[in-house]
Amino acid sequence: MSRDEHAAGAPRDWIRKTYIVAVLGAGALPILLPNESQSLELLEYCDGLLLTGGGDFDPESFGAADEGTDYSGVSKTRDEMELAFIGAADRMAMPMLGICRGVQALAVAGGGTLIQDIPRVIPDSPLLHSQPENRQQPTHKVLVEPQSQVAKLLGGSIVEVNSFHHQAIARIPRGYIVTARAEDGVIEAIENPDKEFMVGVQWHPEDLVGHSQEAQNLFAGFVESSRQYRERGQRYGTACH
């Protein structure tokens, strides 16, 4: 969950409603996991872990020096909790879907690193990865590896997506392959082919549900994989972190 350490003087953990609607719409029940170590116990009641969007990772979390970027929404507590959730869910072989910051969380957990600010690294990119358009508006294409799990999930190999990130994956995490890129080369999706469902996308499909069949397909695939996880002998619900 997103964490505002000092939102109007009152710290809060929160989630955008569109995640909840997308998970419910795919037939699962979201369980929200506060950024507290006790939340790890809630994974026992979950069949899938959805890692949501949010603020920037502290560069220290992936062993990098602060490059002086304008970070926003940095929360060391959230960084630590998400890495703990991913480690625990991985040990349980639980399906995981990372969205925006969530794909970056999967990358950091796997030993990857992040581009701290895309405009500084690719100054001549014609794409605006921090789009000014509204959240339901796709603004750039992603080119998906045709034989990948992501391609099968989305049901297409060129997909129009929205884009609300100024960071992206730099070093690819251990065990993962890149399965989608934007036309400027920015990594837009990764998957771990050794796992049942360990997938991350850099865009925000939860905001495109109802507008894009591919977005709906992605949630349907995640929920179906979570259902199979439960049928294999494990537990209840879908965690929305």
Question: How many Cα atoms occupy the beta-carbon half-sphere of 150 within 13 Å?
Answer: 33
- Minimum CB separation of residue 232 from Mn ion in Å reads 34
As a residue count, the chain comes to: 241
Q: Does 101 bind Mn ion (CB under 5 A)?
A: no
Considering the complex, state which of residue 43 and residue 168 has its C-beta at the smaller distance from Mn ion. 168
- Minimum CB separation of residue 168 from Mn ion in Å reads 7
Q: Does 192 bind Mn ion (CB under 5 A)?
A: no
Q: Does 181 bind Mn ion (CB under 5 A)?
A: no
First to last CA, the chain: 5
**Inter-residue contact 142 to 189 (CB < 8 Å):** yes
Full DSSP string of 29-71: -EEE--SSGGGGGGGGG-S-EEE---SPPPGGGGT--------
Q: Which of residues 106-135 bind Mn ion (CB under 5 A)?
A: 129
- Minimum CB separation of residue 163 from Mn ion in Å reads 3
| Interface characters, 158-177, with Mn ion (x: CB under 5 A) | -----x--------------
* Both tokens assigned to 237: 């619900």
| Interface characters, 140-159, with Mn ion (x: CB under 5 A) | --------------------
Q: Please report, for the chain, how many H helices and E strands are present, in that order.
A: 6, 13
Full DSSP string of 119-153: HHHSTT-S--SB--S-TT---EEEEE-TTSHHHHH
Closest CB to Mn ion: residue number = 163
- Minimum CB separation of residue 4 from Mn ion in Å reads 24
Considering the complex, state which of residue 50 and residue 186 has its C-beta at the smaller distance from Mn ion. 186
Q: How many residues bind Mn ion (CB under 5 A)?
A: 2
- Minimum CB separation of residue 22 from Mn ion in Å reads 19
Residues near Mn ion (CB under 5 A) are 129, 163
